[in-house]
């Protein structure tokens, strides 16, 4: 069997997954997807040539590489080991690729359990946005045995322009948590800085006129400020509840390593306060509105 044309299964055709799956089917990979609460992407993928499975077990019976793009470790374990799960239907040698942002400790344990059943697990968390997913321009940071990485690389390259093999299983998730600590840390700092600026008479527009194009500018800053300045809700579609999950996973990794992470705790609490107030489904740049409201001000224009 040609490695480039292995049969692919895909579970989780949400914001990121639908673009990834579409790239796989458009580039000639036999694809089976599992039903999703949002039927629209499933129906579009089936119309493009994918098959639909009703359960993870049924999907596993039709695939040799299975991508998971779900919320986190709890959902990964449920879809792998639950009733009618992947493990119940997968043939020996099947590779499960967890593209979620998961807890590395759980990933390493699950990989060992699956190896005992003749199955392989790789972690390939994502860098990028849903718009980049649709264009096949994501990045993937992969933890896998070398021979497993060689098998999954062609399929990953269907939806990613950068695929990096970091090391053994779990290393992808470790790096992803470090990456998200930086990005969510930026979000918390930007929110606090913008709030303080507004309070002392520096508008978001003035703030941006100094930061944009400076050494402090970056892609994350630009999508964050696209919401702040233009009120574009879809500038960065990543929910506060998912951000909180990620920084909580980071905290558990730091605890296990015996490393104090006071800045990480401050970032976690910024997100936790917003989620506790019922803002969990807001997107990350909207953290700025929550921090501002806590200080009795608004960052929105006077329009």
| Beta bridge pairs of residue 127 | 139
- Alpha carbon 224 to its chain centroid, in Å, reads 17
Rg (CA), the chain: 20
Contact 143, 123 (CB under 8 A): yes
105-134 core/surface letters (b: 16 or more CB in 10 A; e: else) = bbbbebbeebeeeebbbbbbbbbbbbebbb
Among residues 153, 174, 176, 279, the one annotated as catalytic is: 176
Give yes or no: 279 in active site: no
In this structure, what token pair is assigned to residue 298? 């608004």
| Beta bridge pairs of residue 95 | 65, 120
DSSP string computed for 87-141? HHHPPTT-EEEE-S---HHHHHHHHHHHHTTT-EEEE--EES-HHHHHHT-EEEE
User: What is d(CA 258, CA 189) in angstroms, rounded to the nearest whole number?
Assistant: 25
- Alpha carbon 242 to its chain centroid, in Å, reads 9
DSSP string computed for 196-252? HHHHTT--HHHHHHHHTTSTT--HHHHHHHHHHHH--TTSS--BHHHHHHHHHHHHH
Active site members: 176
């Amino acid at each position: 069997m040609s490695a480039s044309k292995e049969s692919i299964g895909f579970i989780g055709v949400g914001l990121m997954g639908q673009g990834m799956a579409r790239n796989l089917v458009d580039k000639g990979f036999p694809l089976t997807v599992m039903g999703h609460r949002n039927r629209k992407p499933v129906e579009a993928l089936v119309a493009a040539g994918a098959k639909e499975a009703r359960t993870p077990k049924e999907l596993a019976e039709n695939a040799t590489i299975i991508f998971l793009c779900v919320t986190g470790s709890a959902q990964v374990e449920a879809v792998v080991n639950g009733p009618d799960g992947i493990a119940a239907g997968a043939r020996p040698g099947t590779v499960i690729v967890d593209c979620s942002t998961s807890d590395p400790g759980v990933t390493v344990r699950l990989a060992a359990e699956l190896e005992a059943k003749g199955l392989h697990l790789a972690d390939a968390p994502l860098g990028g946005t849903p718009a980049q997913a649709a264009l096949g321009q994501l990045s993937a940071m992969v933890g896998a045995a070398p021979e497993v990485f060689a098998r999954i690389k062609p399929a990953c390259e269907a939806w990613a322009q950068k695929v990096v093999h970091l090391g053994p299983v779990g290393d992808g998730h470790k790096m992803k948590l470090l990456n998200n600590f930086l990005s969510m840390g930026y979000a918390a700092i930007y929110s606090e800085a913008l709030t303080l600026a507004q309070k002392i008479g520096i508008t978001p527009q003035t703030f941006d006129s100094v930061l944009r194009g400076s050494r402090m500018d970056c892609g994350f800053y630009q999508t964050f400020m696209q919401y702040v300045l233009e009120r574009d809700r879809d500038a960065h579609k990543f929910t506060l509840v998912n951000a909180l999950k990620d920084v909580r996973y980071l905290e558990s990794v730091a605890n296990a390593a015996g490393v104090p992470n006071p800045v990480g705790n401050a970032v976690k609490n910024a997100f936790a306060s917003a989620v506790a107030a019922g803002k969990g489904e807001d997107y990350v740049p909207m953290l700025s509105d929550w921090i501002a409201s806590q200080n009795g001000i608004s960052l929105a224009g006077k329009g």
